[in-house]
């Protein structure tokens, strides 16, 4: 059944081959259905991969029941499989060297046809990094772009979360089996993305997370996207890898400048030093380069009074703590708290750590 898809699932799930091997096997088979024609290909496969492997393949190649059971399992877990030959397979991804032949998906697969932008960064970001990520992710999501990231801790999670919060769409590319949640504390986010976005992985259910898979995952992030935005990357961050992938694949690279006194943004700044043209200073910069109109916040429906106006203006200038706000507004602690809540409720300001507030 299922021609190409069946062959891929057979190779990947039953024989346990990764993309590279599958590609070589397909090259041997050419146009023929590798599964059905396997006996005739046996000699060449055995020469290439050894007779043990080829023998295993020989045993299973016509076992329809085994394959059906596998499909059944995937269907019951709510996992869609998309091969590179399917029309749902994103065109952009085909362009990269060694594209994934088989994608496991959970969620809304139509998202792969939308315009995507990757947002990646450090797993141990600074507050600034998180802030920048949130700002870019939210705004770009509101512009209609789908935010692609890797569901890792730190910047990745924040990018996903911000996109969903802004009502936008997001794709998470996993570096482990499609049913594995890694890191485990992202479980709520995983569920949310499954519901409102899309989870994809090159790895079938049950494949544990392992170090070499994450760089491979990175090539899919950049492959899916028209451009990749690095919001904060340290010196040895994996996001630098994604950035290089993006350049190799001919995608746009955008890098947000970071604090030069902090080691957490060192990698980003080095990227800018190497490729000054990739520096971006606002979400609008990115939108402009992608040729879309920047997103304008609709003017808040809430009418601000004089003091609130003053407070917002003050916070626009710098983040202030409670004491400074008391001084600025001349209010008492109780009224100031009430005012802050109102502004916070309408999303105009937000509370930061250590009792600081910002716009």
Partner 1 sequence: MLAVIKSYALEGIEGYPVDIEVDVQSGIPGFDIVGLPGSSIKEARNRVRSAIRNSSFDFMPRKVTVNLAPADTEKNGSAFDLPIAVGFLAGTEQIPDAALKDYVIIGELSLDGGVRRVNGILPLLISALMAGHKKFIVPRDNAKEASYILGAEVYALQTLSEVCSFLGGILDSKPVEHSEYSSDPGVNKYGIDLSDVKGQNAAKRALEIAVAGGHNLLMCGPPGAGKTMLAKCVPTIMPDMTFEEAIETTKIHSVAGCTDSEQGVITLRPFRTPHHTASLISMIGGGPNSKPGEVSLAHNGVLFLDEMPEYQSKTLETLRQPLEDGFITVTRIHRVIEYPAGFMLIASMNPCPCGYDGSRIKECTCTPLEKRRYKSRISGPLLDRIDIYADVDGVDYSDLKTGIPGENSAAVKARVEKARRIQRERFAGTLTHTNARMSNAQIKKFCTLTPGCDRLVEIAFDRFKLSARGVSRIIKTARTIADLRGGAEICETDIAEAIQYRVRETEA
Residues binding partner 1 (CB under 8 A): 123-124, 126-127, 153-154, 185, 262, 321-323, 326, 333-335, 337-342, 344-345, 347, 351-356
- Name the residue nearer to partner 1 (CB basis): 95 or 323: 323
Residue 189 CB, shortest distance to partner 1, in Å, is 12
User: 238-248 vs 266-274: helix axis angle to the nearest 10?
Assistant: 20
Neighbours of 60 (CB within 10 A): 15
- Name the residue nearer to partner 1 (CB basis): 124 or 309: 124
Helix, strand and coil content of the chain, in percent to the nearest 5, comes to: 50, 15, 35
Closest CA to 183 of 201, 208, 202: 208
- Name the residue nearer to partner 1 (CB basis): 237 or 245: 237
Residue 165 CB, shortest distance to partner 1, in Å, is 10
**Before 183, cis peptide (omega within 30)?**
yes
- Name the residue nearer to partner 1 (CB basis): 36 or 350: 350
The encoded tokens of residue 334 equal 């109780």
Q: How far apart are CA 245 and CA 23, in angstroms?
A: 20
The residue behind tokens 């997103």 is 295
Neighbours of 162 (CB within 10 A): 23
The residue behind tokens 């998906």 is 105
Q: How far apart are CA 83 and CA 102, in angstroms?
A: 5
Count Cα atoms within 13 angstroms, Cβ side, for 334.
0
Sign of the Cα pseudo-torsion (33, 38, 40, 42, in order)? positive
Residue 322 CB, shortest distance to partner 1, in Å, is 4
Count Cα atoms within 13 angstroms, Cβ side, for 318.
6
Residue 125 CB, shortest distance to partner 1, in Å, is 9
- Name the residue nearer to partner 1 (CB basis): 42 or 356: 356
Residue 300 CB, shortest distance to partner 1, in Å, is 13
Residue 130 CB, shortest distance to partner 1, in Å, is 8
- Name the residue nearer to partner 1 (CB basis): 34 or 258: 258
Residue 176 CB, shortest distance to partner 1, in Å, is 18
- Name the residue nearer to partner 1 (CB basis): 64 or 344: 344
- Name the residue nearer to partner 1 (CB basis): 146 or 158: 158
Residue 332 CB, shortest distance to partner 1, in Å, is 8
The encoded tokens of residue 329 equal 């507004």
The encoded tokens of residue 191 equal 């569920």
């Amino acid at each position: 059944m299922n021609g190409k898809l069946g062959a891929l699932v057979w190779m990947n799930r039953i024989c346990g081959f990764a993309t590279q091997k599958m590609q070589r096997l397909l090259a041997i088979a050419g146009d023929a259905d590798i599964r059905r024609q396997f006996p005739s290909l046996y000699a060449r496969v055995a020469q290439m991969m050894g007779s043990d492997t080829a023998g295993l393949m020989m045993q299973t190649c016509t076992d329809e029941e085994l394959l059906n059971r596998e499909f059944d399992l995937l269907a019951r877990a709510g996992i869609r499989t998309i091969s590179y030959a399917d029309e749902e397979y994103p065109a952009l991804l085909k362009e990269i060297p060694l594209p994934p032949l088989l994608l496991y998906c959970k969620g809304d697969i139509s998202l792969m046809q939308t315009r995507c932008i990757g947002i990646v960064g450090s797993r141990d970001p600074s507050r600034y990094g998180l802030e920048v990520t949130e700002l870019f992710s939210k705004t770009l999501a509101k512009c209609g772009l789908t935010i692609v990231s890797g569901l890792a801790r730190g910047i990745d999670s924040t990018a996903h979360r911000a996109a969903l919060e802004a009502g936008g769409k997001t794709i998470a590319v996993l570096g482990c089996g499609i049913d594995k949640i890694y890191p485990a504390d992202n479980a709520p986010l995983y569920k949310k993305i499954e519901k409102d976005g899309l989870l994809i992985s090159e790895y079938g259910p049950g494949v544990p997370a392992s170090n070499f898979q994450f760089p491979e995952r990175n090539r899919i992030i950049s492959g899916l996207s028209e451009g990749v935005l690095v919001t904060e990357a340290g010196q040895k961050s994996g996001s630098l890898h994604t950035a290089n992938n993006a350049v190799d694949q001919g995608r746009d690279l955008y890098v947000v400048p970071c604090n030069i006194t902090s080691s957490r943004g060192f990698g980003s700044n080095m990227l800018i030093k190497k490729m000054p043209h990739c520096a971006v200073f606002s979400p609008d910069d990115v939108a402009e380069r992608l040729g879309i109109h920047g997103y304008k916040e609709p003017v808040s429906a809430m009418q601000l009074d004089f003091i609130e106006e003053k407070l917002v203006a003050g916070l626009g200038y710098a983040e202030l703590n409670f004491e400074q706000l008391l001084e600025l507004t001349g209010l008492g602690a109780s009224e100031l708290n009430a005012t802050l809540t109102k502004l916070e409720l309408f999303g105009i300001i937000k509370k930061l750590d250590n009792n600081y507030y910002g716009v």
